[in-house]
Amino acid sequence: MPPHRLHGALSRRRFVTRLGTGALLTALSRPAHALVQSPEFPGPRGLVPPAPATNWSLSVGRRRITLDHKTLDAPCLNGTVPGPVLRWRQGDTVTLAVTNTLDEPTSIHWHGVRVPSAMDGVPGLSFDGIPPGETFTYRFRVHQSGTYWYHSHSGGQEQQGLYGAIVIDPATPDPNACERDYVILLSEWTDVSPRDIVSNLKMQDDYYVFRQRTAASFPREAREKGALAALKDRLAWSRMNMAATDIADVSGAIYTYILNGHAPDMNWTGLFHPGERVRLRFINGSSMTMFDVRIPGLEMLVVQADGNDVEPVPIDEFRIGVAETYDVIVQPKDARAYAIFAQSEDRTGFARGTLAPRAGMAPDLPPMDPRPVRTMVDMGMADMGMGDMKPGDGMPEMDGASPAHAHADMHAMDMPGMDMSGMDMRHDGQGSVAHPLEVDDPGPPPIGVENQNVAMMPIDRTGSPGDGLEDNGRRVLNYRQLRATRPGADPRPPSREIIMHLTGNMNRYIWGFNGRKFSESGPIRLRRGERVRFTLINDTMMEHPIHLHGLWSELENGQGAYAPYKHTIICQPGSKLSYLVTADVPGRWAFHCHLMYHMDLGMFRTVLVS
Amino acid sequence: MRALLLMGLSLLCACMAHAQTTQYHAADAPDAGTPSYIDGIMPVMDQGTWFHGILDALEGRYAPGNSDFRWDGEAWFGGDYNRLWLKTEGTVEKGRLHDGDHEALYSRAISRYFDIQGGVRVDLDDGPTRTWAAFGIQGLALYQFEMQATAYASDRGRFATRLEGSYDFLLTNRLILQPQAEFNIYTKADQGRGVGAGLSDVDAGLRLRYEAWRKFAPYIAVTYAGYFTQARRFAHERGDPTGSVRFTFGLRSWF
């Protein structure tokens, strides 16, 4: 605890430091002397440091922070939540000495940054973690540029505040340089311990869901689609022992959604002069929450996804999965305030901030959208048609052999279709079509303790913005719109396909791949240099942001050679997607769902490149 | 023409893919030879153990001249597959404890929603003590219907079974109506414990609880407790009520 916090009087410094958890406006909103500049508190949240640096001395410690009446001794970097923005330059070798002053091991993982395996910061895969009282020095060459972030990979520290932004300047002039440049780091804040959250979910999977269908909500549903249809839909879900209202496992019931460490009432503000181009580097640093982001009145131009430049896409709204990043450019013309409005996917709360010509402005916030409701599409029964078939039909029979065949057939039938779109481009001029792949297909995952459902007919949903965002009258980003600004570095077609089913049992709160937890599975082995297609089939009814450490995931979204490079990809419920990976860095890499409690409870694999 | 050729080829690929994929192989198949992590540090802790206790009912039942106090609770400790369960229920009436039933069970998850359980049951109260071996199944039937079915064999060659079920009907997200019923069936009478052969007793309730927070839910209820067939005659002989509907209020709570 810093000494000044022991003083009884509310000194100016203490006042500012306390507000430092949130309420400071940007540097431009106050004269610079009003800001405390200290190693513990390097500056207001969201500002990119003026210049890149190569040597960083970082300290992990606990600090008592209160946000929205929730007080927590948060593990954090250099005393703030989020931690400092680290600005590096492409091509530099950076040295980061991380000292652990906690009484438990810690670690820092550089999310999306291509580093040697030993520098990746995952205890048990990269290294042994950083023991209490010790310093671990990360040193690696920065090969890439763009917006990334860092977070702890130890226990629940990430949930509690050990995360922050990374901004890497390109070696060549940035095509998207703007007059203003802000990091917008979205995350959650709660005083409930991660262990308690998991324990509660183990006992009751809908512990944090207070938006279920009830008798009281029936009349409205009946008005919308007819009493009989509403009743049938309810019975269908009930028969499957599932809930159509299962959007997020942990909700605004305990989470305060924060933006750059500011609760909604603290209203983080970024300043602009009318006509300026403002770059907003959105990072979803939360543990369990997807955000739907918009700035009413401003068009956003998406210029970067997961640190990699994409052809600009003009949009009104986008969904940012846990651990994803999007850079957008806005150009406010009027001297008025604009709200940055980030609703949680389940609509139980929002993070908010403001872009304004001067400090202290608080624009009206739009109402929250209705919460999404899952449909049979999310169960992977999209093509079966609600009208022809009772949604629950076929579920109990799934252990049998025939659906397995149906699944295999489906797979065989639509994979080449998917291949063609991608392959055509890659094979132009070569006059050949894909040679047969070596395929690791686990088959439909067995229904059982660890798997509740098999998506009978998973569909490609990369063209959908996601549940709750379809047909909302706004231009909402979808994955197919992401087109890299330059062709991929590795034009080879994949020589192997690895199919992974995303599975889980919501009721028992167990998560995994192919019907197994981490502890029951082996590593995924890749040969060094190998070009592999990962195909994900989501058999669960929730989105999973799947993150592969150390190697790029080139999403096969129909953009051919210009497939976007990503580090985290949302696989929508009941859907199937694929991406290509070049295994060009040896070592042990983590491959997991970035929803923290899904990862912790088994949705995690080791990828071994050797 | 080219399109046709492509289609043909893709079909061929499809067939080949099919031929290959019928031999399923998971890229992450369990592999004893290659550890998935180093130095014994698991990157995620998916083998955690948990401990919870729940008092489903802690309630006073009221009727003129026939009021009692009843509890029904359980606790479990363990991981995803293996758990130890302790269950206890009993009734206190005019300072006397009866229907005391305490079980210690090992539980194993066997399917999406069901666990099998085996262990011992001890009938321990102010009546004669009985010991049983217990074997049962517990879980979530279709339509989110909670159920338990347990068979018992006593040291004296008797058999019994108990069926329990309940359903949570959400009036609102916090106001929940729960019908619940428990049936006890015995092969032989045990007059010392008021137990008759056949369907011996039924305990049922319709509870309306308010989840002020998840772990703390006071409720009001109408409960029914009654004896049937032979046990009904025993109760009649004892001068006890053979069946009573009572106004009840209580607390459902867990940790």
pLDDT at B164: 96
| Closest chain A residue to B33, measured at CA | A522
Total domains in the fold of chain B: 1
pLDDT at A11: 36
Adjacent-strand bridge partners of B116: B108, B137
The answer, yes or no, to whether residue A225 has pLDDT greater than 50, is yes
Calculate mean pLDDT across residues A538-564. Answer: 97
- Report chain A residues whose CB lies below 8 A from the CB of B11: 416
pLDDT at B22: 61
CB contact under 8 A, B38 and A588: yes
Which amino acid is it at A292? D
The answer, yes or no, to whether residue A20 has pLDDT greater than 50, is no
- Report chain B residues whose CB lies below 8 A from the CB of A596: none
* Any domain includes B112: yes
Q: Which of B4, B10, B28 to probe by mutation at the A interface, max A CB count within 10 Å? A: B28
Smallest Cβ–Cβ distance between A125 and the set B43, B169, B173 belongs to: B43
What DSSP assignment string belongs to B83-96?
EEEEEEEEEEETTE
CB contact under 8 A, B20 and A439: yes
Smallest Cβ–Cβ distance between B43 and the set A123, A241, A420 belongs to: A123
User: B76 is in which domain, residue-wise?
Assistant: 52-254
- Report chain B residues whose CB lies below 8 A from the CB of A419: 10, 13
B39-69 CB burial, b ≥16 within 10 A, e <16: eeeebbebeeebebebbbbbbebeeeeeebe
Smallest Cβ–Cβ distance between B27 and the set A211, A417, A440 belongs to: A440
Smallest Cβ–Cβ distance between B37 and the set A124, A449, A451 belongs to: A124
* Local structure of A562: helix, strand or coil: helix
Q: How far is A520 from chain B (nearest CA, A)?
A: 6
Instruction: Answer whether A423 touches B (CB < 8 Å).
Output: no
- pLDDT tier, A414 (very low <50, low <70, confident <90, very high otherwise): very low
Read off the CATH number of the domain in which B60 is found.
Answer: 2.40.160.40
* Any domain includes A161: yes
**ipTM of this complex > 0.85?**
yes
CB contact under 8 A, A153 and B43: yes
CB contact under 8 A, A416 and B43: no
pLDDT at A427: 36
Calculate mean pLDDT across residues A20-43. Answer: 35
DSSP A9: S
* Any domain includes A320: no
Lowest mean pLDDT among A4-8, A62-66, A354-358, B166-170: A4-8
The answer, yes or no, to whether residue A404 has pLDDT greater than 70, is no
- pLDDT tier, A4 (very low <50, low <70, confident <90, very high otherwise): very low
Q: What percent of chain A has pLDDT over 70?
A: 84
The answer, yes or no, to whether residue A67 has pLDDT greater than 60, is yes
Calculate mean pLDDT across residues A317-335. Answer: 98
CB contact under 8 A, A608 and B34: yes
Q: What is the residue-averaged pLDDT of chain B? A: 91
CB contact under 8 A, B20 and A203: no
Residue A242 and residue A451 in contact, taking contact as beta carbons nearer than 8 Å: no
User: A140 is in which domain, residue-wise?
Assistant: 3-176
CB contact under 8 A, B17 and A436: yes
Q: How far is A428 from chain B (nearest CA, A)?
A: 13
CB contact under 8 A, A522 and B28: yes
DSSP A221: H
Q: What share of chain B is helix, strand, coil (3-state, %, to 5)?
A: 15, 55, 30
Residue A243 and residue B170 in contact, taking contact as beta carbons nearer than 8 Å: no
* Any domain includes A251: no
Calculate mean pLDDT across residues A109-113. Answer: 98
- C-alpha to C-alpha distance for B136 and B185, rounded to whole angstroms: 14
The answer, yes or no, to whether residue A9 has pLDDT greater than 60, is no
* Any domain includes B14: no
What DSSP assignment string belongs to A567-607?
SEEEE-TTBEEEEEEE--S-EEEEEEESSHHHHHTT-EEEE
Q: What share of chain A is helix, strand, coil (3-state, %, to 5)?
A: 20, 35, 50
| Closest chain A residue to B141, measured at CA | A241
CB contact under 8 A, B18 and A409: yes
Q: How far is B252 from chain A (nearest CA, A)?
A: 14
Q: What is the 3-state secondary structure (H, E, C) of A123-158?
A: ECCCECCECCCCEEEEEEECCCCEEEEEECCCCCHH
Smallest Cβ–Cβ distance between A507 and the set B21, B31, B113 belongs to: B113
Q: How far is A305 from chain B (nearest CA, A)?
A: 27
Q: Give the residue, B96 or A42, on which the prediction is more confident.
A: B96
Task: Show which of A118, A147, A176 is a domain's final residue.
Answer: A176
- pLDDT tier, A399 (very low <50, low <70, confident <90, very high otherwise): very low
Q: What H or E segment, with its residue span, contains residue B181?
A: strand B175-186
The answer, yes or no, to whether residue A298 has pLDDT greater than 90, is yes
| Closest chain A residue to B110, measured at CA | A449
Read off the CATH number of the domain in which A51 is found.
Answer: 2.60.40.420
Calculate mean pLDDT across residues A589-593. Answer: 98
How many CB pairs below 8 A link A and B?
196
* Local structure of B113: helix, strand or coil: coil
- pLDDT tier, A368 (very low <50, low <70, confident <90, very high otherwise): very high
CB contact under 8 A, B143 and A239: yes
Long-range contact set of residues B170-174: C-beta below 8 Å, sequence gap at least 24:
B170/A212, B170/A213, B170/A214, B170/A215, B171/A214, B171/A215, B171/A216, B171/B208, B172/A214, B172/A215, B172/A216, B173/A210, B173/A211, B173/A212, B173/A214, B174/A210, B174/B210, B174/B211, B174/B212
* Any domain includes B163: yes
Q: How far is A382 from chain B (nearest CA, A)?
A: 22
Residue appearing with tokens 């131009």: A301
**Residues of chain B below pLDDT 50:** 1, 3-6, 9, 11-21
What DSSP assignment string belongs to A170-213?
-SSPPTT--SEEEEEEEEEE-SS-HHHHHHHHHH-TTTT-----
* Any domain includes A182: no
Whole-angstrom CA distances from A166 to A52, A284, A525, A550, A584 are 10, 12, 30, 16, 23
The answer, yes or no, to whether residue A375 has pLDDT greater than 60, is yes
Smallest Cβ–Cβ distance between B140 and the set A216, A507, A608 belongs to: A507
Looking only at Cα atoms, what is the longest distance across chain A? 79
| Closest chain B residue to A498, measured at CA | B27
Task: Show which of A127, A153, A176 is a domain's final residue.
Answer: A176
Q: Which of A109, A200, A241, A604 to probe by mutation at the B interface, max B CB count within 10 Å? A: A241
- C-alpha to C-alpha distance for B39 and B58, rounded to whole angstroms: 48
CB contact under 8 A, A513 and B28: yes
CB contact under 8 A, B37 and A588: yes
* Any domain includes B66: yes
Chain-centroid distance of CA A12 in Å reads 37
- C-alpha to C-alpha distance for A147 and A113, rounded to whole angstroms: 10
Smallest Cβ–Cβ distance between B21 and the set A408, A505, A592 belongs to: A408
- Report chain A residues whose CB lies below 8 A from the CB of B173: 210-212, 214
Who contacts A97 (Cβ-Cβ below 8 Å, separation ≥6)?
A56, A57, A58, A135, A136, A137, A138
pLDDT at A223: 93
In chain A, residues 428-447 whose CB comes closer than 8 Å to chain B = 433-434, 436-437, 439-443, 447
pLDDT at A428: 35
* Any domain includes A311: no
pLDDT at B31: 85
- Report chain B residues whose CB lies below 8 A from the CB of A437: 17
Task: Show which of A145, A176, A207 is a domain's final residue.
Answer: A176
Calculate mean pLDDT across residues A555-564. Answer: 97
In chain A, residues 267-296 whose CB comes closer than 8 Å to chain B = none
In chain A, residues 98-117 whose CB comes closer than 8 Å to chain B = none
Total domains in the fold of chain A: 2
A114-158 per-position pLDDT tens digit? 999 999 999 999 999 999 999 999 999 999 999 999 999 999 999
Question: Phi, psi (5° rounding) for residue A226?
Answer: 95, 140
* Any domain includes B8: no
Smallest Cβ–Cβ distance between B50 and the set A202, A440, A608 belongs to: A202
Q: How far is A512 from chain B (nearest CA, A)?
A: 10
Smallest Cβ–Cβ distance between A412 and the set B14, B30, B44 belongs to: B14
pLDDT at A23: 37
A172-222 per-position pLDDT tens digit? 999 999 999 999 999 999 999 999 999 999 999 999 999 999 999 999 999
pLDDT at A436: 66
Q: In what order do the strands lie in the sheet with A180-189?
A: A256-259, A180-189, A278-284, A325-330, A300-305, A308-315
pLDDT at B77: 98
Residue A314 and residue A301 in contact, taking contact as beta carbons nearer than 8 Å: yes
* Any domain includes B3: no
- Report chain B residues whose CB lies below 8 A from the CB of A155: 45
Smallest Cβ–Cβ distance between B52 and the set A203, A523, A604 belongs to: A203
Please state whether the peptide bond connecting residue A370 to the residue before it is cis, i.e. omega within 30 degrees of 0. Answer: no
- pLDDT tier, A37 (very low <50, low <70, confident <90, very high otherwise): very low
* Any domain includes A352: no
Q: What percent of chain A has pLDDT over 90?
A: 80
* Any domain includes B193: yes
